C-alpha cells in the first residue's frame, strides 16, 4: 500500500481537496498504460549476466543510463525493488505513484532540487542493501553529459556501476532536450547491460564522468548492432 509520507512530500498539497485520490488515479492509469506498452514489446536482453557479476563480494549496484532511455530501463528492471530519483513536484507525485506500481522505490529529489539530500538517501539505500538507478544526464541536461551524482554515490558506498543502453526497431523521440524515447507498440528492443564499472579510489570526478559516458555509448552501439541484424 502506498504511503503518503513517501509519495506525497508537501503537506500543503496533500491537504488540497481531492489531491491525493486524483493523483493516485493518474499514477495508476500511467502505470497501467506503461505495462500495456511493455507487454507488447519483444525485448532481447544482452549482458544480463553482468547483473550477477557486479554483485560479487556482496556489492550493490548503481544502474547508469541516459535520461532519454529510462522508460525501457523501467521495463527491464520493474519489480526488482530498485530505488530511483523522482522530482519534488506535482508531476513527481504522479510519477512516484506510477513507479511504486511498477515495483520501484521513489526517492524525491534531483540534481537541481533536493539534490544533496536525495543523493545521501540513495547512498543510504545502498548501504541498506538496495540497488539504485540514476539517469546521469538528467533532469535537464546537457544531453549525454554525465553529472556527478553516480560518482558521489559510488565513492560513498563502493557500489559497482552498471551501464545500460537500448536500441529499437521502431521508436518515437519526443521534441524534448533529451529526445525522450518511446518505442512503438510491438517493436523489437535490444537492451544491453554493460560490464560492471568499479571506480578506482583515485579517479577524479571528471574522469569518472567521461568513463560513464563512454560505457553507456558502448552499450548503445552494441544494442544498435543487434537491432540491425
More confident residue, 164 or 22: 164
**pLDDT classification of 153: cutoffs 50, 70, 90:** very high
Provide the CATH number for the domain formed by 4-228 in this structure. Answer: 3.40.1130
Confidence at 110, pLDDT banded by 50, 70, 90: low
- Pairing type for strands 188-193 and 160-168 reads antiparallel
The larger pLDDT score, comparing residue 96 to residue 163, is at 163
* Under 8 Å between Cβ of 122 and 85: yes
Please check the confidence at residue 106 and state whether its pLDDT lies above 80: yes
Could you read off the pLDDT of 59-89 as tens digits, one per residue? 999 999 999 999 999 999 999 999 998 887 7
Mean pLDDT to the nearest integer, 51-55 = 95
In this predicted structure, the answer to whether residue 111 has a pLDDT above a threshold of 80 is no
Q: What is the DSSP letter of 197?
A: B
Domain regions of the chain by residue span? 4-228
130 Ramachandran zone, left/alpha/beta (phi>0; psi -120 to 50): beta
- Give me the pLDDT at residue 113, please: 56
Cβ-based burial of 35 (10 A; exposed 0-12, middle 13-18, buried ≥19)? middle
pLDDT at 166 over 70: yes
Of residues 128 and 18, more confidence is placed in: 128
Phi, psi of 106 (to 5 degrees): -85, 125
Name the more confident of 208 and 90. Answer: 208
Q: Which residues does 172 contact at the CB level (< 8 Å), separation at least 6? A: 181, 182, 183, 184
C-alpha cell belonging to residue 18: 481531492
The pLDDT confidence band at residue 107, using thresholds 50, 70 and 90, is confident
Residue 1 has what pLDDT? Answer: 39
Q: Is this prediction's pTM over 0.85? A: yes
Which has more pLDDT, 89 or 34?
34
Amino acid at each position: 500500500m502506498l504511503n503518503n509520507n513517501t509519495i506525497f512530500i508537501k503537506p500543503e498539497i496533500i491537504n488540497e481537496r481531492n489531491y491525493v485520490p486524483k493523483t493516485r488515479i493518474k499514477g495508476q492509469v500511467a502505470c497501467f498504460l506503461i505495462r500495456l506498452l511493455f507487454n507488447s514489446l519483444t525485448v532481447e536482453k544482452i549482458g544480463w549476466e553482468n547483473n550477477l557479476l557486479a554483485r560479487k563480494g556482496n556489492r550493490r549496484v548503481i544502474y547508469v543510463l541516459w535520461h532519454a532511455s529510462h522508460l525501457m530501463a523501467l521495463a527491464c528492471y520493474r519489480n526488482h525493488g530498485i530505488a530511483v530519483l523522482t522530482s519534488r513536484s506535482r508531476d513527481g507525485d504522479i510519477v512516484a505513484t506510477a513507479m511504486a506500481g511498477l515495483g520501484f522505490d521513489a526517492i524525491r529529489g534531483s540534481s537541481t532540487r533536493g539534490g544533496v539530500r536525495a543523493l545521501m538517501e540513495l547512498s543510504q539505500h545502498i548501504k541498506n542493501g538496495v540497488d539504485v538507478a540514476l539517469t546521469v544526464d538528467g533532469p535537464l541536461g546537457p544531453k549525454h553529459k554525465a553529472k556527478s551524482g553516480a560518482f558521489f554515490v559510488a565513492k560513498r558506498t563502493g557500489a559497482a556501476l552498471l551501464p545500460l543502453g537500448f536500441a529499437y526497431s521502431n521508436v518515437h523521440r519526443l521534441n524534448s532536450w533529451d529526445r525522450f524515447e518511446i518505442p512503438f507498440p510491438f517493436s523489437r528492443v535490444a537492451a544491453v547491460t554493460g560490464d560492471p564499472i568499479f571506480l578506482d579510489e583515485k579517479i577524479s570526478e571528471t574522469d569518472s564522468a567521461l568513463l560513464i559516458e563512454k560505457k553507456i555509448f558502448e552499450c548503445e552501439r552494441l544494442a544498435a548492432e543487434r537491432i540491425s541484424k
